[in-house]
Amino acid sequence: MSVTFQRITLARRPSGAPVPEDFKLQSDPMPEPKDGEVLIAVTHLSLDPYMRGRMDDVKSYAPSVGIGETMTGQGVGHVLTSNADGFATGDLVTGMTGWASHACLPGKDLRKLDTDLPPSTALGVLGMPGLTGWVGLNRFGKPKAGETLVVAAATGPVGSMVGQLAKAAGLRTVAIAGGPEKCALATDTFGFDAAIDHRAHDTASDLRKAIAEAAPDGVDIYWENVGGKVLEAVLPLMNTHGRIPVCGMIAWYGGVDGDGTDRLPQMWRAVLVKRLQVTGFIIFDHWNDYPAFLNEVSPQVAEGKIAYLEDVAEGLDNMVPAFIAMLKGGNTGKQIVAL
């Protein structure tokens, strides 16, 4: 067995969008599993937008990554050595490995994977992002047949789950995505009724016109993934008693820069006059729903009724470039790094 392992640590806190110098790829002695722990050789790592937030030293729903600490994240891998009951060499497992080639984790923090689907699906369509779409839509979106849903980042793992579930529930689904290729994927692969390229509309009011055409009966559910121009475009189109599950606001993860900062407070009025239900949620509060989600959704994924896309970068060397690109829309589907 190799005597060292590789990991990516936080070298410094980014200002705005992360750059390569904010990270450090380093080699360290291979950790040894203590009693109750398992040593894992990681095969797939997840890249998720929330990781940008963990790089800042601000109070949030989860602790930030310290300078010099391994970047946080979920991985899938094989057990190399087990000192934990219930785990044996060769088992396929998933857990919070961090951005690393190997990890020692307590057995109680790992989940065994026994699936015929590719193991990487545990990080996307059948993992945290898929669960986010399923829980958030059912619990906070409260979809009803005949209504209209709008979601941005529509070809990503959250948006594509939301769109497909809403379509199956009888809603009209409108995707917002970056670029013509992603718009084509939204309609052709994920079954959205319409797709709008947010990059083709410079202003919120232009984008609003395009969304209004695609949603002639107004918007009943706006699934908030991005904030920024898209939020500003959609808010005035909301129908009375509409719902906005607030899942993410990636347009602002590097800080708010001008667009929308002065106009949004005025538009907040829409929440009052349209009696909107705006509900922020964090998926960590809903892990108890995971078994029910898997029961319902994994057969549909296996049968091809729910489609998913993965964008796979190769090697730890490509982890940082893939992360930086993902935050700007460079990924097409769930961003995975295969080791």
Residue 27: both structure tokens together: 């080699």
Find the binder of ligand NDP among 103, 125, 231, 247 (CB under 6 A): 247
Give the footprint of ligand NDP on residues 54-93 (CB under 6 A): none
> Between 133 and 242, whose beta carbon lies closer to ligand NDP?
133
Taking alpha carbons only, the member of 309, 49, 326 closest to residue 160 is 309
Return the range that interacts with ligand NDP (CB under 6 A); candidates 4-12, 85-93, 226-234, 312-320: 226-234
> Between 37 and 197, whose beta carbon lies closer to ligand NDP?
197
Q: Would you give the binding string for ligand NDP spanning residues 132-171, x where CB under 6 A is met?
A: x-------------------xx-xxxxx------------
Q: Would you give the binding string for ligand NDP spanning residues 185-224, x where CB under 6 A is met?
A: -------------x--------------------------
Find the binder of ligand NDP among 14, 18, 33, 49 (CB under 6 A): 49
Question: Closest residue to ligand NDP, Cβ-based?
Answer: 156
> Residue 262 and residue 110: Cα distance in Å, rounded?
45
What pairs with residue 149 in β-bridges? 173, 221
- Going 6 to 10 to 11 to 16, the CA torsion angle's sign is positive
33 binds ligand NDP (CB under 6 A): no
Q: Do the strands 111-112 and 148-152 form a parallel or antiparallel pair, or are they unpaired?
A: unpaired
Give the footprint of ligand NDP on residues 251-270 (CB under 6 A): 251
Strands (E) across the chain are located at: 4-10, 23-29, 37-46, 75-82, 92-95, 102-106, 111-112, 148-152, 172-177, 194-197, 219-223, 238-246, 277-280, 310-314, 334-338
* Minimum gap (Å) between residue 20 Cβ and ligand NDP: 19
What pairs with residue 314 in β-bridges? 338
Find the binder of ligand NDP among 5, 23, 50, 290 (CB under 6 A): 50
> Between 50 and 308, whose beta carbon lies closer to ligand NDP?
50
Helix axes 128-136, 157-168, angle to 10 degrees: 40
CB atoms within 10 A of CB 20: 12
Give the footprint of ligand NDP on residues 268-307 (CB under 6 A): 281-283
> Between 51 and 84, whose beta carbon lies closer to ligand NDP?
51
Give the footprint of ligand NDP on residues 90-129 (CB under 6 A): 129
* Minimum gap (Å) between residue 190 Cβ and ligand NDP: 12
> Between 129 and 242, whose beta carbon lies closer to ligand NDP?
129
> Residue 111 and residue 161: Cα distance in Å, rounded?
22
> Between 257 and 296, whose beta carbon lies closer to ligand NDP?
257
> Between 75 and 248, whose beta carbon lies closer to ligand NDP?
248
What pairs with residue 111 in β-bridges? 94
Residue 22: both structure tokens together: 């904010």
Taking alpha carbons only, the member of 78, 90, 1 closest to residue 44 is 78
CB neighbour burial string for 116-149, b if at least 16 within 10 angstroms, e if fewer: eebbbbbbbbbbbbbbbbbbbbbebbebeeebbb
> Between 177 and 204, whose beta carbon lies closer to ligand NDP?
177
Within 8 A by CB and 6+ apart from 305, the residues are 168
Return the range that interacts with ligand NDP (CB under 6 A); candidates 45-53, 68-76, 107-115, 262-270: 45-53
**Chain residues that interact with ligand NDP, rule: CB under 6 A:** 48-50, 129, 132, 152-153, 155-159, 177-178, 182, 198, 225-226, 228, 230, 247-248, 250-251, 281-283, 326, 329, 331, 334-335
